[in-house]
Amino acid sequence: MIRSLFLTLCAAMCIHWAHAEDGSRLWLPTESNGQPAQINLKHSSPTLDIAADELRQFWHGQPVDLILKRDKSLKADGFSIRHTDKGLTLSSPHETGLLYAAYHLLRMQAAGETVNDTVVNPTYSLRILNHWDNPDGTIERGYAGKSLWQWAELPGKLSPRYQAYARANASIGINGTVLNNVNASPSILSDEYLQKVKALADVFRPYGIRVYLSVNFASPMVLDSLPTADPLDKNVIRWWKQKAKEIYRLIPDFGGFLVKANSEGQPGPCDYGRTHAEGANMLADALKPYDGIVMWRAFVYSPTDADRAKQAYQEFKPLDGEFRQNVIVQVKNGPIDFQPREPYSPLFGSMEHTPLMAEFQVTQEYLGHANHLAYLAPMWKEFFSLVPPSSIEAVAGVANIGSAANWCGHPFAQANWYAFGRLAWSPELSSGQIADEWLKQTFHMDNAEVKQMMLDSREAVVDYMMPLGLHHIFAWGHHYGPEPWCEIPGARPDWLPTYYHKADRQGLGFDRTSTGSDAVSQYPEALAKQYADLKACPEEYLLYFHHVPWTHRLKSGRTLWEELCYRYDRGVQQVRNFQKVWDKAEKQVDPERFLSVQSLLMTQARDAVWWKDACLLYFQEFSGMPIPYDIERPIHELKDLKKVQLPISNYECPTKEMLNERR
């Protein structure tokens, strides 16, 4: 049944794609070559059938043999490809490996590359998406429509999107998905919802994808009225064991739990005087009989400490070695919160006895929502240049996927989903290689300037939003647009921009050296020394680690103030350049996606000017210096920009009309 569903799906998509490109096919092949390729398969199974059908539909090359075989050089999901006199042989110890091999072939074909003999192993065995979807269909920090999961219709009705989703993920090697928000509703663990979860798991399974769930630590109290959620409480322990049994009866290959506890108001073990380890271990023990895991988030910070950047390390480092083997501590890439640039979190490399995994944010909460083109592979490669891939256990990506026809909101946002999967499999791939693959498969485009635009885009966002190590100066709540002046009476100081930029008459930036919060000391000695040295600190982290005088001279010879102005304006000019690059590519793109990206780049160009004007005019009140006169002047007045209030929630991206009306 899956096979026929699959063929129907492909046929439907082919017909659809021939007529329009609304972005729904992602990077996946469309043209059936008419003549099914010769694919030989000794066994049949849902996964193997999918692999064979993909190749029959879309492979234009030599005959292919799919072979299940043990191989010492291959990990579970790994595969080998070998040329024989009859054609190609794809080989793997597991079915999913053959599925990945099939997608590998199709990827090479679309990229126009020669298929060489090769042995391919993923770096990580766990390559997982985190969906911050709520039961009501909203997606926290989601800008591509509503949640894919139609809870009201499940389990009876299965949207065709579930399979398309699974296919897309399998094609880039993603093998796990957490279905729900880390600000978790306990209801996800109710029997009613577990039936729905099972239905999804059943669709995903043949694609090699296991489901996981975010769990609310207080679930026993909410679902079954237990008087406590103390992880050492016998009844609580029993409750979770029972719940695990219930889950695995429905979903034998359920992956495990993702937990946000004692963070931003979420319940957790610390409510009962227990440690994170005690909380995690209780859950881990419940899942252990079923080979399930617990991914316990280290995103914790409380308003009582002086430097939020230090707190995850301060809370978790002492717990090193205390976690069960099936617990992975999940740590955001940086110590603050997914900023356009942050240093890496010093927890990485400091917990020698605890498996850590990195949490990347694919959805662009701080990089322009679904309006700005920002290719994030360079950000994740930057992380890997400081945190060796082999030093962590896995990577998770907070998804940018929703019910929008094009899945991700911005056509280029798809590239980040794609890049996350490719880097989760092969973190040694370069950003350029991945961009190349994606452009060829998604747009059938081989355009050096468009590729360069992608590679430059993250840095452009840094430039026009938060250059030189600035961070967390965006608008309250929805996080779209600049608000470095934000003042909200009674708000947590560490939620306000002024806490982070600390602008005053002397200068700008957060002193994290020994004269300040000394957060640098959490880094390895050599790095700490470099970061702490005003002259040696990489300029991209300058205002992250130092409070720098406005008149301080940087490498360029410009003062801090001048360099700030120059960077913001450079970001604006970069986006205008992207507009030129994209317009030049018009003939290479279908009209629908061309116009969509063109329109979004206009919004991005206007937003870049908005960010630049807001930040420079506000910081100028402290620097007291003129914006260098060779720089394009602001076209907004600060008092007007301060009035901008976008009428959006944390689950929405502002529309062009909203933005037009406001700045």
Binding site for a second copy (CB under 8 A): 576, 579-580, 583-584, 586, 599, 601-602, 605-606, 626-627, 629-630, 632-637, 640, 656, 660-663
CB of 470 to a second copy, least distance (A): 24
**Shorter beta-carbon distance to a second copy: residue 52 or 601:** 601
Q: Which residues lie below 8 Å from residue 494, measured CB to CB, with a gap of 6+? A: 301, 303, 308
Give me the residues paired with residue 559 across strands: 553
Q: Output the CA angle 374-378-382, nearest 5 degrees.
A: 135
Residue 474, CA distances (Å) to 102, 310, 478, 486, 643 in order? 43, 21, 9, 8, 14
**Shorter beta-carbon distance to a second copy: residue 332 or 663:** 663
Question: How many Cβ atoms from other residues are within 10 Å of residue 609's Cβ?
Answer: 22
Phi, psi of 381 (to 5 degrees): -65, -35
Strands of the sheet containing 64-68, edge to edge, are 39-41, 64-68, 88-92, 79-83, 118-120
Could you give the CA distance from residue 299 to residue 309 in angstroms, rounded to a whole number?
Answer: 10
**Shorter beta-carbon distance to a second copy: residue 521 or 579:** 579
CB of 656 to a second copy, least distance (A): 7
Per-residue 3-state assignment (H helix, E strand, C coil) for 446-515: CCHHHHHHHHHHHHHHHHHHCHHHCCCCECCCCCCCECCCCCCCCCCHHHCHHHHHCCCCCEECCCCCCC
**Shorter beta-carbon distance to a second copy: residue 385 or 599:** 599
Q: Which of 117, 153, 264, 533 is catalytic?
A: 264
Burial of 265 (0-12, 13-18, 19+ CB in 10 A): exposed
Q: Which of 21, 365, 436, 494 is catalytic?
A: 365
CB of 570 to a second copy, least distance (A): 15
Q: Is 77 a catalytic residue?
A: no
N-term to C-term CA, the chain: 53
**Shorter beta-carbon distance to a second copy: residue 392 or 605:** 605
Could you give the CA distance from residue 442 to residue 356 in angstroms, rounded to a whole number?
Answer: 33
Q: Which residues lie below 8 Å from residue 594, measured CB to CB, with a gap of 6+? A: 582, 585, 586
**Shorter beta-carbon distance to a second copy: residue 61 or 628:** 628
Q: Is 563 a catalytic residue?
A: no
CB of 452 to a second copy, least distance (A): 15
Q: Which of 54, 337, 359, 562 is catalytic?
A: 337
CB of 630 to a second copy, least distance (A): 8
Q: Is 365 a catalytic residue?
A: yes
DSSP strand pairing (507-508 vs 327-332): unpaired
Residue 250 identity:
L
Could you give the CA distance from residue 283 to residue 274 in angstroms, rounded to a whole number?
Answer: 13
DSSP state of 368: T
**Shorter beta-carbon distance to a second copy: residue 330 or 603:** 603
CB of 507 to a second copy, least distance (A): 23
**Shorter beta-carbon distance to a second copy: residue 37 or 453:** 453
CB of 647 to a second copy, least distance (A): 14
CB of 24 to a second copy, least distance (A): 23
Could you give the CA distance from residue 11 to residue 198 in angstroms, rounded to a whole number?
Answer: 27
User: How many CA atoms does the CB half-sphere of 73 hold within 13 Å?
Assistant: 7
Q: Which residues are catalytic?
A: 264, 337, 365
